[in-house]
Amino acid sequence: MVCGVSPTPEGLDAALARALGDPRSDFGGKHFAERLKDSLTLKPQTETVRGVPLVEGFGLRTGERAFSARFYGGWLEEGAFFVNRTTLTIRDGQGRPVGPGDVFDSSALGVASTTAPTARQDMSATWKGVMIGVDVSNQVTRGQFVRGDATLDIDDLANPAVDVVFNNLRDHETSASLDGRSIPPWENVPLHGGAFGEKSTGSEDYIQGRFIGEDHAGAVGVFERGEIVGSFGANRQRVE
């Protein structure tokens, strides 16, 4: 996506409006913008993890298409990422309400880099940040928000492919460690310009990301794996 954002309600509203009207929108951003347009409340920032300021908010709409939504995410210099749980009325094939249900989705926004990352002082590069997801299993943990460390590595910038690791998982709302929970890593994901991975229709195992900002300073994306739907953001690390 090509939306710049700032860590204020006004900045997020503006970014969502741009996402809604931009035909180049991807990573679920347009859906997120549609969902929360004119119904967004953003709480004051309270925490920064691995250099990424975290954000929490909710949306509420009444009337015929009423819903309530809760989302978590994080800010980068030129991007943002979110995961969202929405409670709404499920309808049958004839449009008749059959009861409440939850919808889970993720999204990411950023000023897209169209080229692959290049070397600064070294022939490898690392981005570190945060993953936030939500449990979509059919277990008692369904709906639990999960946070973890996100690390992206390119070992050889002359022939770039991306390794993505999410680890150190914990309950995002209580900070309790989830020692029995893990997400298998992605290895050697090919780059296509500044983008990597793809989301096939109906897939329950994917990653889709993009490098963003000047000199590929950040990376954002969305994923589903290990019965977790989520998004991530990370900052490029300086070479000492």
Q: How far is CA 23 from the centre of its chain?
A: 19
**Which letter, b or e, does each residue of 83-102 get, where b requires 16 or more Cβ atoms within 10 Å of its Cβ?**
bbbbebeeeeeeeeeeeeee
**Residue 161, C-beta contacts closer than 8 angstroms, at least 6 positions apart:** 154, 155, 188, 189, 190, 191
5 pLDDT exceeds 70? no
Q: How confident is the model at residue 6, as a pLDDT? A: 35
Model confidence at 1, in pLDDT bands (50, 70, 90)? Answer: very low
143 torsion bin: left (phi>0), alpha (psi -120 to 50), beta (else): left
Contact 90, 71 (CB under 8 A): no
CA–CA dist 229, 240 (Å, integer): 35
Q: How confident is the model at residue 14, as a pLDDT? A: 55
**Which letter, b or e, does each residue of 48-67 get, where b requires 16 or more Cβ atoms within 10 Å of its Cβ?**
eeeebbbbbbbbebeeeeeb
Q: How confident is the model at residue 175, as a pLDDT? A: 93
pTM summary value: 0.82
What is the Cβ-side half-sphere exposure of residue 115, based on CA atoms within 13 angstroms? 9
Three-class SS state of 84: strand
Residues 191-233 have pLDDT tens digits of 999 999 987 777 889 999 999 988 999 999 999 999 999 999 9
Q: How confident is the model at residue 219, as a pLDDT? A: 96
Q: Return the top range by mean pLDDT from 16-25, 31-40, 129-138.
A: 129-138
Q: Which residue has the higher pLDDT, 161 or 120?
A: 161
- Mean pLDDT over the full length of the chain: 82
Please give the share of the chain, as a percent, with pLDDT higher than 70: 80
